[in-house]
Chains A and B, each alone.
Chain A
Amino acid sequence: MKDLLDLWSRLPEQELSFLGDAPVIYHCHHFNLFLDQTVDDALGPKRGPQVRFAAARDASYQLLDSLMQANGAQTPAERMAIAESTFAAMGHGRLSIGASGGSGKAIGEHLHYGRAWSEKYGASVRRRHPADTFAAGYTAAAAEVAAGLPRESVLANEDRCIAMRAPRCEFSLTPGEQAELRPDVGVQATLAALGDLKPEPGLHEPTIGAITETLRSFLAGVRGDQHGLVQNFGVYITLHLASYYNRITYDTISQVLSTAPKMIDVLESLFRESGHVCVFNTFGGILMSPEWEGAIGDLKEDPEEIVAACLGIARALNFGRWTLREYVPGERLVIDTPSTYECPYYITRHGTSSRPSCYFLQGAALAIMQLAERVKWTARPALTQDYYNQLFRGGAHWKVEQTRCRTLGHDRCEVVVSRP
């Protein structure tokens, strides 16, 4: 099997990356759990997991199909081996899938969502439904790709889950009816959606670019360990499928708009909060890591430096070419980007929008302003839940507005953070 690096491609002007044909980004378990929970809170405990399963199977099929082609894998056994090793390499844990004709069983060890949920909440909360819907969807897609079955025709159910205190996760696979197929959001679709816009350099561009390259060199060689876990910068992260995040987000938005439109503002604010969760935990963790200290330097009490650092981190995690357009200390932050990882998906599958659609960018920009303006980095604060609550739930210090969006037909996405 080819190494992941050989299957990796990047659109450098957009700072978007692909594994095979699938757009990929890095996210930590705090973000992953928060986003899944937001979907389930909005759609309920039955419909939420259905939406997440469909998204996982859809996005995973695109990844695996392209990886099989790139590897020239022919036999079901070869294909399944690639599917299992890729899952582990991406930091999602270990899967062992035994399926034939769309029927079978799979065993999961140390699966990302279940393990992370247990670690974060397991001591105090009893979970009543399985956590590894992403792994279920991936397993179903692997069974389809391995056996050459119709796309989105295999169902997978997580029967036992470590988040429900089972010793390991177990899945059953059954043939099902083929779901409605949607267009893939791969390299070509992304290029078609974005056109040939050239990025315009922003403030601190050399610094941001250098940080991105340094962080990328740490990320480039990283693979899941023997348990399928990836730790980098002291944070457990996953290489994840952008189309999974995007589909669960926009399908949830669509369903809530059609069934409970009065709830849309609350839902959008929760999707924005996923950006707070990511920036606080992952960006914060990276900023205080020894890798940062050794390769980039000591943190100072300079808000503008923190803003630039965060944009470098965002690019290294493949979130897009986030560019600093304006920063007024204590007053205003303007970030723009030729695209987010959200836009190509939305444009390809939904067309134009009537509202700005980059929820993650919106929330992340506000959180970057919080980290820059309100955190005393030289005091090395512990990034605890209490501190998060203090920063993000203790009254509005900032508001964010998305003033341009590719999904609205603009030439870029732009967010403005200012005083409320």
Chain B
Amino acid sequence: MTEPTSLLSPLRREHGCARDLLWRCEVADEAVTGTLSLLREHSRPQNLGPSLGVDLFEVAGEHTIVLVRRTGRIQIRIHGLTPPSSRAEAAERVAAWLNDLVGRHHRES
């Protein structure tokens, strides 16, 4: 598993309707707003009303990061056509990208 920054908890599996498609980590309370801004800047926000308290972003082609503003929960959704044997690796890559993004921003600010 990817080493987290102090702002992101370790990545772990979530049970989903298909094997290894859903993964989870949390971002620290103080970094939720910053992470939201970074994701808006560096990935493709998906259309959702601002009042729903949850934001979805398309990353690395077809995978999705979901961020719950209130709790800092992050769900990484690996696209369903990713071969089962590659899903864990794909989730690791997305998590590493996010970890790097948040960590770099934190160090620079």
Q: Identify the A interface with B (CB < 8 A).
A: 28-30, 110, 115, 119-120, 123, 214, 217-218, 221, 225, 227, 229, 231, 234-236, 281, 285, 289-291, 293-295, 298, 382-384
State the CA gap A214–B79 with chains docked (Å). Answer: 24
The answer to whether B17 touches A295, judged by C-beta atoms less than 8 angstroms apart, is no
CB nearest to A381 among chain B residues: B15
Known A231-B77, A290-B54, A290-B75; 7 more pairs at CB < 8 Å: A30-B17, A115-B80, A120-B18, A225-B62, A231-B64, A294-B52, A294-B68
Given contacts A225-B62, A290-B54, A384-B15, contact A217 B68 (CB under 8 A): no
State the CA gap A285–B79 with chains docked (Å). Answer: 17
Most buried by A among B17, B66, B68: B17
CB nearest to A226 among chain B residues: B62
State the CA gap A227–B62 with chains docked (Å). Answer: 10
Contacts of B69 in A (CB 8 A): 294
Contacts of B16 in A (CB 8 A): 234-235, 285
Nearest CB on A from B94, distance (A): 15
Pairs A-B, 5 closest by C-beta atoms: A294-B54, A382-B15, A294-B53, A294-B68, A295-B52
Decide yes or no whether B2 CB sits under 8 A from chain A: no
Decide yes or no whether B40 CB sits under 8 A from chain A: no
Decide yes or no whether B71 CB sits under 8 A from chain A: yes
State the CA gap A53–B104 with chains docked (Å). Answer: 56
The answer to whether A293 touches B73, judged by C-beta atoms less than 8 angstroms apart, is yes
The answer to whether A221 touches B73, judged by C-beta atoms less than 8 angstroms apart, is no
Contacts of B68 in A (CB 8 A): 290, 293-294
The answer to whether A229 touches B52, judged by C-beta atoms less than 8 angstroms apart, is no
The answer to whether B80 touches A293, judged by C-beta atoms less than 8 angstroms apart, is no
Given contacts A30-B17, A293-B68, A294-B70, contact A236 B53 (CB under 8 A): no
The answer to whether B53 touches A235, judged by C-beta atoms less than 8 angstroms apart, is no
Contacts of B14 in A (CB 8 A): 234
Contacts of A30 in B (CB 8 A): 17
State the CA gap A218–B51 with chains docked (Å). Answer: 11
Nearest CB on A from B46, distance (A): 8
Given contacts A294-B68, A294-B70, contact A217 B15 (CB under 8 A): no
Interface SS of chain B: helix, strand, loop or mixed? loop
The answer to whether A285 touches B66, judged by C-beta atoms less than 8 angstroms apart, is no
State the CA gap A123–B84 with chains docked (Å). Answer: 10
Identify 16 residue pairs between A and B in the complex whose beta-carbon atoms are under 8 Å apart, listed by A's number.
A29-B17, A119-B80, A120-B18, A218-B48, A227-B81, A231-B77, A234-B14, A234-B17, A234-B75, A236-B17, A285-B17, A290-B74, A291-B52, A294-B68, A295-B53, A295-B54
State the CA gap A293–B66 with chains docked (Å). Answer: 11
Decide yes or no whether B109 CB sits under 8 A from chain A: no
Interface residues of B in 49-87 (CB under 8 A from A): 49, 52-54, 62, 64, 66-71, 73-75, 77, 79-81, 84
The answer to whether A383 touches B77, judged by C-beta atoms less than 8 angstroms apart, is no
The answer to whether B81 touches A293, judged by C-beta atoms less than 8 angstroms apart, is no
Most buried by A among B16, B48, B70, B74: B16
CB nearest to B71 among chain A residues: A293
State the CA gap A320–B29 with chains docked (Å). Answer: 39
Nearest CB on A from B45, distance (A): 12
Contacts of A28 in B (CB 8 A): 17
Contacts of A281 in B (CB 8 A): 17
The answer to whether B66 touches A291, judged by C-beta atoms less than 8 angstroms apart, is yes
Nearest CB on B from A9, distance (A): 22
CB nearest to B18 among chain A residues: A119
